[in-house]
């Protein structure tokens, strides 16, 4: 009922994986309140917050120079197509980019027009990275438009490998924000379908909702595969519940042994019920959380795979208990409780051809100096030279980005009340919390499981050993991840936390079986060794079966994900 009545899904990479009190949020607020607050004051060159829009990288299909005359003409055709292509909004209205555009990539059009007419040598000298033209009111930063540029000894552009352009619609006003999103989705869909009017150029896109949409698509692809894992585990559970005996039969030539199913000890329905009960537990626990208004996040899609493989462990333990009963007793019928998107290519191409685009840091001077005063003006220029043009403070911030350095800037220049911001810092804050959060999860798990183990196994030594076993496996998993080159991120952090569940499960069962073992030792055999052998004989095989089921479930999950 909770799933039906109160299912809420929350998306947003920054919202979900960033700490609640992440520093970048307050820093972003400073720039959001002081710059580009509305469409009238928005200026694309000062788009600090990277608001809604779609980035496009365009390169030639033959991998050559995109400034060749025919390629430049083709690029102008692409620009015109993007501005005039008819799209359908979510409200069902036909619209084009020109109906609500913020700006029209004037710099890219100017350069493409020059090269399409072959005027770059006769009438224009295009210099890199800054080009000053009599047709522009301010210098043009070509490094934002052209990628992998080669120049001659005078700095004139000789060739380039790609264009990068940005399209943004007005975002303020009734319905304009949704219209901007409709433009992103509509244009991305047409590019993916290959409807671009170019035979010479490739187009790769990336927009403000790409990460969220890709995560949503991956979850839609992964969720149906749950039925495959469910079926595999049912088959494995059923096969594991059969007990085979070899009986001797008389034949004409003597006697022969044949394998026969022991239907007294074999319980295939127990395997089916074990999987179904686990499924019911997953559904009921999810529904209960929904009733308590807990929202569902995309990362929880892997939860059924992990929970199903853990929950089926008890099936094998119940079967082992059935086998341990006295076979001479009359029996008991009983009721048994019932993963090549265009966006990835975009990121790879941008990292290769536009590496500087990801290293931008903006600095806000909240207490501006009096520029009419020459002393204050020159003092402020010295600060700019130290901070912006090669100062150690800036290099350190871009590399390390920690609070001790937001303090260095403030202490060095307190009179200006400096605030720094970069769109990449949200990622830095997210990764900054991964390690302490992982260690905290392990410590909390150990602290919780020791008293729980002591409650069910009244032997303090066993409880301590279970705690040490949890720590050993959890830190062993982290060490193995490091050895294999697996980064510690949100997904791997959850995997480490889940490994605690695996480790405590098996350790608790073995410890309980050892402490409750009461069979007398054989003459001449150490009681401790005898007890150990009986423990492994009782729970060793079901624990092995449970381990295999975990490998099947998680292995299938990774196959689906890849």
The whole-number average pLDDT for the span 197-208 is: 86
Q: Are the beta carbons of 364 and 356 closer than 8 angstroms?
A: no
Q: Which pLDDT does position 64 carry in this prediction?
A: 92
Q: Is residue 380 part of a domain?
A: no
Asked, as a colleague might, if the bond just before 129 is cis with ω within 30 of 0, I would say yes
Q: Which pLDDT does position 76 carry in this prediction?
A: 92
Residues of the chain with pLDDT > 70, as a percent, come to 75
Q: Is residue 342 part of a domain?
A: no
Q: Which long-range contacts (CB under 8 A, 24 or more apart) does 381-389 make?
A: 383/413, 383/416, 387/363, 387/413, 387/418, 388/363
Q: Are the beta carbons of 446 and 467 closer than 8 angstroms?
A: yes
Sheet holding 146-147, edge to edge: 146-147, 162-167, 54-60, 201-207
Return the SS3 of 152. coil
Question: What does the DSSP assignment read for 168-187?
Answer: -B--SSTTHHHHHHHHHHHH
Q: Is residue 217 part of a domain?
A: no
Q: Are the beta carbons of 274 and 314 closer than 8 angstroms?
A: yes
Contacts for 155 with CB less than 8 Å, ≥ 6 apart = 127, 128
Q: Is residue 392 part of a domain?
A: no
Q: Which pLDDT does position 386 carry in this prediction?
A: 67
What dihedral angle (degrees, nearest 10) is formed by the CA atoms of 233, 238, 240, 242? Answer: 180
Domain count, the chain: 1
What ranges in 40-158 are assigned the alpha helix state H? Answer: 69-84, 106-116
The pLDDT-based confidence of 82 (bands split at 50, 70, 90) is: confident
Q: Are the beta carbons of 561 and 339 closer than 8 angstroms?
A: yes
Greater confidence (400 vs 216) lies with 216
Give the integer Cα–Cα distance in Å for 167 and 181: 11
Give the integer Cα–Cα distance in Å for 358 and 423: 9
pLDDT tens, position by position, 304-360: 777 777 777 777 777 777 777 776 654 463 333 333 566 666 766 766 777 666 556
Residue that is written with structure tokens 């082992």 in the block:
320
Residues of the chain with pLDDT > 90, as a percent, come to 7
**Mean pLDDT for the chain overall:** 76
Q: Is residue 311 part of a domain?
A: no
Question: On the CB side of 279, how many CA atoms lie within 13 Å of its CA?
Answer: 15
Return the SS3 of 365. strand
Angle at 358 between CA 353 and CA 360, to 5 degrees: 125
Give the integer Cα–Cα distance in Å for 542 and 549: 10
Question: What does the DSSP assignment read for 479-548?
Answer: HHHHHHT----HHHHHHHHHHHHHHHHHHHHHHHHHHH--PPPPTTS-HHHHHHHHHIIIIIHHHHHHHH
Reference 185, options 215, 207, 167; nearest CA is 207
- Please give the structure tokens belonging to residue 467: 């705690």
For 97, the domain range is 52-207
Q: Are the beta carbons of 43 and 36 closer than 8 angstroms?
A: yes
Q: Which pLDDT does position 68 carry in this prediction?
A: 93
Q: Which pLDDT does position 400 carry in this prediction?
A: 43
Give the integer Cα–Cα distance in Å for 90 and 99: 15
The pLDDT-based confidence of 461 (bands split at 50, 70, 90) is: confident
């Amino acid at each position: 009922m909770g799933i039906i009545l109160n299912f809420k899904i929350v998306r947003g990479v920054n919202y979900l994986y960033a700490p609640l009190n992440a520093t970048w949020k307050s820093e972003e607020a400073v720039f959001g309140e002081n710059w580009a607050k509305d469409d009238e004051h928005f200026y694309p060159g000062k788009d600090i917050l990277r608001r809604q829009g779609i980035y496009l990288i365009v390169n030639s299909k033959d991998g050559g120079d995109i400034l060749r005359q025919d390629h430049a003409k083709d690029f102008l055709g692409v620009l015109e197509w993007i501005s005039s292509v008819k799209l359908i909004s979510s409200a069902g209205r036909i619209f084009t980019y020109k109906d609500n555009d913020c700006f029209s990539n004037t710099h890219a059009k100017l350069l493409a027009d020059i090269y399409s007419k072959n005027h770059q040598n006769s009438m224009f000298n295009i210099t890199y990275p800054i080009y000053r033209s009599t047709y522009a009111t301010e210098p043009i930063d070509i490094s934002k438009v052209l990628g992998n540029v080669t120049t001659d000894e005078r700095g004139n552009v000789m060739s380039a490998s790609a264009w990068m352009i940005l399209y943004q619609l007005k975002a303020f006003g009734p319905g304009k924000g949704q219209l901007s999103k409709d433009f992103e989705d509509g244009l991305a869909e047409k590019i993916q379908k290959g409807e671009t009017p170019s035979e010479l150029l490739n187009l790769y896109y990336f927009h403000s909702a790409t990460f969220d949409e890709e995560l949503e698509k991956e979850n839609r692809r992964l969720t149906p595969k749950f039925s495959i894992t469910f079926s595999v585990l049912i088959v494995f559970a059923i096969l594991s519940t059969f007990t085979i005996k070899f009986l001797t039969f008389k034949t004409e030539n003597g006697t022969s042994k044949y394998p026969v199913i022991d239907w007294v000890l074999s319980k295939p329905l127990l395997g089916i019920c074990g999987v179904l009960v686990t499924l019911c537990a997953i559904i009921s626990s999810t529904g209960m959380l929904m009733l308590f208004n807990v929202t569902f996040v995309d990362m929880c899609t892997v939860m059924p795979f992990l929970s199903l493989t853990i929950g089926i462990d008890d099936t094998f333990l119940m079967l082992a208990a059935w086998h341990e009963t006295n076979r001479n007793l009359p029996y008991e019928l009983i009721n048994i409780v019932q993963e090549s998107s265009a966006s990835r290519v975009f990121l790879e191409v941008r990292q290769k051809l536009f590496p500087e685009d990801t290293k931008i840091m903006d600095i806000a001077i909240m207490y501006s100096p009096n520029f009419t005063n020459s002393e204050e003006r020159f003092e402020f220029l010295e600060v700019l030279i130290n901070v912006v043009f090669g100062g150690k403070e800036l290099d350190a911030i871009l590399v390390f980005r920690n609070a001790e350095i937001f303090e260095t800037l403030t202490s060095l220049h307190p009179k200006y009340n400096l605030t720094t911001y970069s769109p990449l810092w949200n990622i830095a804050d997210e990764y900054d919390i991964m390690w302490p959060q992982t260690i905290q999860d392990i410590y909390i798990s150990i602290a919780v499981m020791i008293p729980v183990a002591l409650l069910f196994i009244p032997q303090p030594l066993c409880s301590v050993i279970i705690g040490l076993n949890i720590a050993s496996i959890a830190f062993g998993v982290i060490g193995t991840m490091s050895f294999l080159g697996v980064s510690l991120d949100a997904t791997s952090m959850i995997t480490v936390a889940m490994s605690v569940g695996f480790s405590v499960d098996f350790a608790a069962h073995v410890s309980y079986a050892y402490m409750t073992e009461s069979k007398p030792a054989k003459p001449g055999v150490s009681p401790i060794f005898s007890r150990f052998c009986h423990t492994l004989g009782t729970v060793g095989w079901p624990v092995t079966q449970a381990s295999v089921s975990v490998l099947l479930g998680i292995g299938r999950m990774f196959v689906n994900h890849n």
